[in-house]
Amino acid sequence: MLSQEPVEWPDQVEALVERLESEAPERALSREERALMDVYETVPILESEDCLHEFWQSEINQQRVINSFDLIGAAALVDSLNASRWCGSCSPDRNDYSETEAEYLATIEEDLPSGMEELIDLVLAFIESELE
């Protein structure tokens, strides 16, 4: 992603994710717990060089992940993910995009850093209100 510091999750988030990862094989996670895991697991994709393209080309359940970002209140990221939905029907190679497609995707990706900046605060508030 463009000039964005990687998200550094607070210890509280890391500990909760670790606990949920260890409990997941033994029990079904609640929708709220799954949302936290989806967000946590998707952030590295959004921080990657191919970010939105990689998200749409991955094997993850994209709609569930978008719903998870929405559930925690990350509206800016939901908007970017929805605006780039067309990438899912494009070539697996980002270099095959037309100039117009590449420019449009770059424009959408310019909005990601501001959405990522607020993500930690949103996740902490979500944990406090929904998971504690």
What are 5-52's pLDDT values in tens digits? 789 999 999 999 999 999 999 999 999 999 999 999 999 999 998 999
Provide the sign of the torsion angle of the four alpha carbons 76, 15, 54, 106, taken in this order. Answer: positive
Tens of pLDDT, residues 51-109 = 999 999 999 999 999 999 999 999 999 999 999 999 999 888 989 999 999 999 999 99
Query: What is the reported pLDDT for 132?
Result: 77
Contact 124, 71 (CB under 8 A): no
Q: Is the pLDDT of residue 2 over 60?
A: no
Q: Tell me the whole-structure pTM to 2 decimals.
A: 0.92
Domain boundaries, the chain: 11-131
Give CA separation, 76 vs 25, 81, 111, in Å. Answer: 32, 9, 8
Contacts of residue 111, Cβ cutoff 8 Å, sequence gap at least 6: 76, 79, 80
Give first-to-last CA distance, the chain, whole Å: 32
Give the three-class secondary structure for 116: helix
